[in-house]
Structure formats: structure tokens, C-alpha cells
Structure 1
Amino acid sequence: MSEPAASTAGALSDLRVVEMGQLIAGPFCGQLLGDMGAEVIKIEPPGAGDPMRVWGQGAPVWWDVIARNKRSVSLDLRQVEGQGLARRLIAQADVLIENFKPGTLEGWGLAPDDLRRDNPGLIVVRMSGYGQTGPYAARAGFGGVAEAMGGWRRIVGDPDRPPSRMGVSIGDSLTATYGCIGVLSALHHRHRTGQGQVIDAALYESVLQVMEGMVAEYAVAGVTRQRSGAVLPGIAPSNVYPCLDGEYMIAANQDAVFRRLCVAMGRPDLADDPRYIDHVSRGAHQAQLDDLIAAWTIKLTIQEVEAAMLTASVPAGRLFAPADMLEDPHFASREAIISMDHPRWKNFKMQGVFPKLSATPGAVRSIAPQVVGEHNAEILGGRLGLSSQDLERLRDARVI
């Protein structure tokens, strides 16, 4: 059978999302849902709006990535009238995203149980540092703190130096991704029952979830993972190796692949050396093996090493910077990087939509709202029926 024609609307095009969160976790969850077609109404505080509007290195462009496919409505949720307008918007929504400190929604009169009485099918995604329950729930929590509690920060870096960090806000992004998974699971449940539910996504637990066998290793074998620098202990060879003109990643930590690497290096004997003959042996002699490979790569250019790896079918690759991504034919072929016309930024480019769905692919349909409350008239006027006089009065009262 032939593949059905792809829809340009996205798999979630019938979904309406109200996003209340600020900074990263809540907004990235909204971005993921919006990329897949959902209509995302972003509520921002009047005035400065979401702090993400001024984030970015070199230029404040992070907002233009994380707020794509969204409409901006400005509401002061600390005022009763702002809370009432938010409640009316949420009553028309399928999903509410928030990442405030636990108890904040309740303090605004927007407790999920109350919202779901007006809208039984509502799915509420709550993201916080420690979750909605437990002795730490009321504590303030950011992604970096969650990375520490979840076990990530302690094992990243060189063993003779203080813990390092990843160069992106991984704790927030993981929580947003798990929040998105929660939404999709809750939608399946709602399809069967008609009922929504609350998703409690803690930042520290989202980090904990990707820590592989770390807890089990300690519980069973008493082993506590330590900082190991550039290597993953026991996984060899899998490292970045020096070349004449830079560095190159080689991952040959499987018996047949390692044998092919040895042939490419002109050292087929290494594959039968008792120190490197299998996974466990290579892991036990990881440093020695890395030194052998580095002694080979350092005599060659990146291009020469890459040619050898391609011929030998060994997983390997260059360390890409943004400039490399923009010039690479594979990125271009798969539209991993997209270009958008933008009123502020010349030559604006950003990552595309992932993953790729064959029948209902996602898309970036619109740039991020450039003005706080840019869609007040469309949403508060068109959806909620407020008149131009109502909107003017609300502006004067700084409700919007």
C-alpha cells in the first residue's frame, strides 16, 4: 500500500494548550506540543513578559526558538480579574502547562481540581523542582539543583576537579520532555474515559530517570559512580581522539566493530590481544587502549581518519559546532536546521522539528510573538468576547 499523503497540520492540530510556565521547563514542553501542531496560548505577565525574552549568548534569540508556534496573551495572575480571564481560557483548553512553585496555582484560585470541575477533560502538567508532594515540595528548585539531586552533576567532569555541568539546561529540558510524554499518555486515557488528570513532573526525578543503572549498581554491588572525565568507564573504545588538525569521535565498543577499527589502524593483532579481545577486557584496559588509538589518530588529519572509519564502517564523527551544522549536507537534507523570515534577526536559523512523523509531520508554523500580549485582541477579544473598551480598561488597570 502507498503511504497516505502527509498532513501539514500536525498530529496535535486539534489540541488547545494554555502555557503558564516561565523560563525553560514549562515553555519547552509547550514548544514540543506546538511543534506537533497544538495551538499554544502563552500567558505572560504584562510588561517584561517571560524572562526568556532576553536570554541568549551574543543575542537574545532563545525566545525565538522556545516560543515558536505560540500566541502571547498578557495577564496579571496576581489580580482577581486576571485570574478570572485565565480560568475562562483554561475552560476552553485541553492542556494546561505550569512550572511554578507548588501551591502557586492554588493561591491564585486556579487549583487543578477546581479547573477540572469546569473542564473535566483538562490535562494539567505541573513541573517543579521536587514534585507536588513530599517533604521538599515547597522548596524552590531550578534545573541545576535538580541535576545535583538526581545524580547527574556529581558524576560529570574530571575526577581531580570539582563537578562540572553540561553546557545546556538539561534538567529543565528532560522534565519538559517527560511532561510532554505525560500529556500524550493522558490524552490516550482521556480518549477512553473522557477524563483528564494531573501530571506531576519533578525536575530531580526527570534527571534520575536517565541515570541508567547507577542506583541499582550501588544497591546490588555497592559501587558508587565517580567522575570519569571524557570516558564512560568500562565502555571502550569510545572517546574523542586527537588529530593533526583537531579532534574526532570514535565509538568502536563492540567486538566486530573493534576488529574493523584494528584493521583500519593497521593493527589487526589488537583484536586478538587478551587485553582487548572482548568488552570486559577492553573496559579493564581502557586507558591503554585509548593511548594506542590516539597514537594512530595524532599522525593523521580529521579527513584522513574519517575516510578510514567510513571505509571500515566504524561509528565515528566530527565534533560539530553551529558553523559545521549550517554547512553540512546531511543537516540540510533532513531540514534539521531551518531558516525563518524574522522582523528582528537577519539570517535567522534554528533547529527544526523532531521526531519526524510520516503522516502528520510537525512544523514551525509561526515565529515567536515579538510583543508581550501580541494576541490579546485575537484571544481575549475573539475567544472570550471582550470588547475593545474592555481591553482598554484592562490595560489601564494593568491586568493585561
Structure 2
Amino acid sequence: AERGGGIRLTDEARLHPFVQTALAYDNNPNLLPTNTVGDALFIIEGGGEIYVPSDVLEMRARLALNYNYYLGLGNADTDGDGVDDVATDGLSAAKGGAELQLLGNKKRRLRWGLALRSNRVDDPTPLIVGSRTGRLYSTLNLLLEWRPGGQAMGFKIQPNGSYDAYDGLNAEEAAKGATYDPTAANSTRYGLRADYDWRIFPRTQLVLNNSWMVSRSQDTTSNPLNSEIGFMGQITPQVSAIVAGGYALSGLVDSLNLSGDGQAAADTSTFIGQFEVRYDEKRSTTTRVGFRRALLPAAYHGTMQNNQFYFRYYSRFGRGLRALFNAQYDLRIFGALTGDKLQTLINVGGDDRIDHQVSVNGSLLYQPKRNWLAGVSVRPDYVATNSSFNKGTPEEPEYAAESGYLRLMLMFMFEAKL
């Protein structure tokens, strides 16, 4: 949303409505390890964003509602009894989300911010497998940033918290004798991030990054600490780089690092870091290639080591046309399970878990500079996930899913006043 256009609520506040549609195909919408079937789905989303620009207190508020309609192509009779025991049309659901962002003292040495988000979705996180169920995911992030003197130094503190709540079994699932409990994946997280940067040379910054996160769920409690030191700077007028390295402790506080049976969790401490090269051409094209490694909290497993390789491309053409392309590969190595934790969701007795995820998406955005249409966007997306349990049962040793999306979005920017 920009300062101009939209429905004028006050002299500064404007409402920008939008509509988005998408056609998608998912080869395993039920997220099952066996008897997988695919289905196509149609998505329609509508909503609006309120934007109030101000150097004292800037505000953005966004509300979106959508409906995912599964066509039922994946209904299947896998046991030959004449009844579809695997169905996808029942996955159709309404979803939505709301977001509020505040930024105070925008141009002063000491500024603050707040971001509150709540989304109703039906996609489990990549850390949960074997059950597709609704969930409400809410986050709260605070920001306090101080840049004294000539702003060559900066101190940033960001407290944060989140709650992930899954729906319980519905009546039909319970009647079929389902034994898993999706609410076992509910988790509460809270933590603190502290960053420091110092421009030691005109085009080079020293950065210190520290983040500590406590994760509590039914089965595990973990509190990994990630600490890094590195440099950001320009090598040539077109080429810049980020080089950072550090260490991650799997548990800063021993009493908050427990496995599901109340015993101390295994030590998964490891080296972490980031390396990125960025190339800018004529201020219209940017290419970034990099690698990022971090230790994150994970339900059931306590911690997850995430190794991410990524490629980003952005180009701005004439007459309001822009193109983006992103590709990334994530290798996730999880902490060991104890007891029967994962039995709540999927009948896998394995201990070692490794996930592979490939994500590719692009976007073409056209902004015709008309007073009623802010932009038209076409975005294809592809995500493939494979979760392997090296010691899993022969019947269900792994889980895999692929999904592809083609999204069309219209952003309106007409002038009106209430």
C-alpha cells in the first residue's frame, strides 16, 4: 500500500482492497506416508490493508480471508471395498489472517516497533508429519532500536513470542478409531534477539547477532542459543558480501532442555554461520547467492539443524514491470526422539530424522500507474518435501509431498472517500 490511492478514511489513512486467486495441485494433500493421492484445488482470497504514514507513529493493518476448494480428484478406494477410504474433497476449508504493525519514532535515534499476527491455516509446519489439520498460529514481535551519534553504531533488541494451536480430532476421525492426537503438536515459544552493528569503514559493517528461543510442547522443552559474529560490506561498487560464523548451544539452561520422558535431551550443539554474495547491476537488478546454517527449536525432537542454500533474483524493467525468482534447498537434521513421541501423529518408530525440502517460486508484477489498479501479479510456486526416518518401520518409513501453485493477484488503488 502506498500513500496515494485507496479508500480515504482520513486525511492520511487509506484502505487498499485486493483480490487474489490461485490454481494449485498437491500430490499428497492428506500428508500421509502411504496410500498417497493427489488433488487440484482452487483458492480465492480477498481482503484489505489500512496504511497510516507518519514519522511519529506509522501503522499498517491487514485482514485477509480465503477459501481453499479441493476438487475431489484424489478420492480413492485403496482397499477395494467400494468405499473411498482416502478422500480429499473434505479438506476444503475457509482460512484467514490478520496483521497489525506499528513503527514509532521512525526517523529518530531511538525507535520502537510492534508486529502482531494471527493466521488460521490448514498446513502443518514442515516439522509435523502424518496429519493434516487446522491450526491457529499467532506471533508477537517487539522492536527497540537505538542508533546514537552519527548512526555508525546500532543496537537492536527484539523480544518475541508465538503460540501454535492445532485442532483436535473431529467426530469422524474419532469414530474411525484414530489414535493420533494433533494437539500434541501444540507449542509455545518465546525468546529474545539482540543485534549490534558498527560501521568500522565507510562500506563495511561489523555485526554481532544473538538469539535465544525457549520452546515448550507436550513432549519436549528446548532452548537453543545462536551467536554469530561477522562482516557485511562492499567489495566493489557492484559486489557485496556477508560473512558470519558462530556457535549454537542446544540448551542455554539445562532445566529447559528436556526430552519427552523427563530426561536431559541429547546435546545437539553445532557451528553455525552465513555466507552470501550479492551483485547489483545498474540499481535495477539484484542477484544473491548464499548459505545459512542455524539451530532451531522443533516439536517432538527438541532441536533442528537447518542448512539452507538459496538463490534470489530481482529485476526492475521499464513501464512498471518487475520480476522476482527465488530457489532454495533446506537440509534439516533433527534431534533424536525418545519413547513413543511421534506415535501421536504417525506410526513411525524411527529415531533419526532428516528432511529435504526444495522451494522454487517466481513472480511477475506489473504496475500500470493507473489510479484504480496498483498492480497485477502472476506467481508460480513449487514446494517438495521428503522426510526420512532412517530406523522407521518397514510399513511407513518416510513421508513425502509435492505441491505447485499458480497465483493471480489484483491490487486495487482507486480514489474514494467514506
TM-score by length of 1: 0.29
Question: Which is bigger in relative contact order (C-alpha 8 A, separation at least 6)?
Answer: 1
In proportion to residue count, which structure has more strand? 2
Normalising by structure 2, report the TM-score. Answer: 0.28
Which of 1 and 2 has greater Rg? 1
